[in-house]
Amino acid sequence: MQLDLDFIRSQFPIFQTELGQKIGFFDNAGGSFPAIQVVNRLTDFYKNYKIQPYGPNALGTKAGEAMDLGYHTMAKLLNVSINEMTIGASATQNLNTLAIACNSIVVKGSEVIVTEQDHEANIGGWERLCRQQNAILKIWKVQTNTGELVLENLEKLLTPQTKILCITHSSNIIGTINPINKIADLIRPMGIRLVVDGVSFAPHEFPNLDELKCDAYVFSTYKTYGTHQGIMVVRPDFLEELEPQCHFFNESILHKRLDTAGPNHASIAALAGIGDYFEAAYNHHFPNKELPLHEKTRKISCLMNAHENKICSYLLKNIQNLPLKFFGKKTMEGREANISIKADNVSSKSIMKGLAADNIVSKQGHFYAYRLMQAMKVTNLNDGILRLSFSHYNSMEEVERCVDGLKKLII
């Protein structure tokens, strides 16, 4: 079965606009377009009951119900209890809060391992925690020629003092999907907690937390067709060890424990639209309507991923012979569709501008994976690499235009 792209694109308001029809958008890793279901729920909230939720009046009740639906839908999508889930402002904020909350686990002499491949969001907070606690931050380094993490190198870093390992599910630069469960099998018998940054992975395959053996998993909904929120799932036995970061009188409400902000009511309510979107896409493609939401989501997500991989393979095949350095695996095997390149003779900025003139959106820079860039010897971090990040709503025609543009510009 193939993804019905006409149906998929009909679910995104952007493709109904003149500009949206002209533009081939390949900066999805910076934030995806929102689905119509999300936009509808957000505008419904703002138009009809945007007041403090849960007040004992007709408007407050409606606002509260809408927000509850946002929480519950996200929990259903992930097949987790609402008690395990924090909805914060962003992944950066959630990871930072999580690090602060680990201050009784990470004490003087403890060790925390972060990777050189990660976005700074999953490094900086841990570095600050270690500094404050007189603990030791260890860096799992990448192979400089490939940017890949090698499991044997992790084994050398592990000691009885290691308390937490933080790693990205897939790299926002080289696209490699890391073997989370293999890592878990190695470290969890030693009592080491595993914190996974799924921000780059989740837009390509909605995370299946039933299969992932991690203690905490984080991603952002503005990259998964929703509003600008960060979702963090922390398993109950880990949550219990953490110092609550909420108001003292909210500590018994588990989904508030690690929420350091007042919730964005309308934005959380609109998250229910992500569930509506996956459900509509599933129902359009599959006959069995009886499945729970997380199973529907996994099935349709696989179909979306297959489409993305097919169109991204075309790009991979057709740019290999251009004069450029290519970062990451050269086929779609073991990676997701974030493609990073650096031309030998043309700056990333001018390629980005050249593509934009042909209505192809790409992005250049270091993408906050600063340490990975340094490790891979990208010298001018201001110019950085050029990244083309795909979503399932991209079409083959857009990819062909992108390839034509690259061939014209990279000489």
Q: Find the shortest distance in angstroms from Cβ 207 to ligand PLP.
A: 13
CB burial of residue 18 (10 Å; 0-12, 13-18, 19+): exposed
Q: Find the shortest distance in angstroms from Cβ 1 to ligand PLP.
A: 30
Q: Which of residues 76-105 bind ligand PLP (CB under 6 A)?
A: 90-92
Q: Find the shortest distance in angstroms from Cβ 95 to ligand PLP.
A: 7
What sign for the dihedral angle of Cα 352, 173, 335, 32?
negative
253 phi and psi angles, rounded to 5 deg: -90, 100
Binding of ligand PLP by 394 (CB under 6 A): no
> In degrees to the nearest 10, what's the CA dihedral of 64, 70, 74, 75?
20
Q: 3-state class of 108 per DSSP? A: coil
Q: Which member of 84, 111, 197, 383 binds ligand PLP (CB under 6 A)?
A: 197
Nearest residue (CB) to ligand PLP, 296 versus 363: 363
Q: 3-state class of 343 per DSSP? A: strand
Nearest residue (CB) to ligand PLP, 133 versus 220: 220
Binding of ligand PLP by 121 (CB under 6 A): yes
Nearest residue (CB) to ligand PLP, 110 versus 200: 200
Nearest residue (CB) to ligand PLP, 53 versus 125: 125
Binding mask 232-271 for ligand PLP (x = CB under 6 A): ----------------------------------------
Q: Find the shortest distance in angstroms from Cβ 90 to ligand PLP.
A: 3
Q: Find the shortest distance in angstroms from Cβ 118 to ligand PLP.
A: 7
Q: Find the shortest distance in angstroms from Cβ 261 to ligand PLP.
A: 13
Q: Find the shortest distance in angstroms from Cβ 137 to ligand PLP.
A: 18
DSSP string, 150-212: -HHHHHHH--TTEEEEEEESB-TTT-BBP-HHHHHHHHGGGT-EEEEE-TTTTTTS---TTT-
Nearest residue (CB) to ligand PLP, 77 versus 121: 121
* Residue 137 DSSP one-character state: E
Binding of ligand PLP by 199 (CB under 6 A): yes
Q: Find the shortest distance in angstroms from Cβ 268 to ligand PLP.
A: 15
Q: Which member of 24, 64, 175, 230 binds ligand PLP (CB under 6 A)?
A: 230
Contacts of 249 (CB under 8 A, 6+ apart): none
Which tokens go with 205? 């395959």
CA distance 339 to 175: 7
| Helix, strand, coil distribution of the chain in percent, nearest 5 | 45, 15, 40
Which tokens go with 283? 């129902």
Binding of ligand PLP by 338 (CB under 6 A): no
Q: Which of residues 283-302 bind ligand PLP (CB under 6 A)?
A: none
User: Total binding residues for ligand PLP by CB under 6 A?
Assistant: 12
Q: Which of residues 129-168 bind ligand PLP (CB under 6 A)?
A: 168
CA distance 170 to 147: 12
Cβ 270 vs Cβ 50: under 8 Å: no
Type of residue at 101: A
Which one of the spans 46-54, 187-195, 197-205, 349-357 is the region binding ligand PLP (CB under 6 A)? 197-205
Q: Find the shortest distance in angstroms from Cβ 128 to ligand PLP.
A: 16
Go through 214-232 and write b for each residue having 16 or more CB atoms within 10 A of its CB, e for each that does not: bbbbbbbbbbbbbbebbbb
Q: Which member of 115, 162, 200, 348 binds ligand PLP (CB under 6 A)?
A: 200
- Write out the residues near ligand PLP by the rule CB under 6 A: 90-92, 119, 121, 168, 172, 197, 199-200, 220, 230
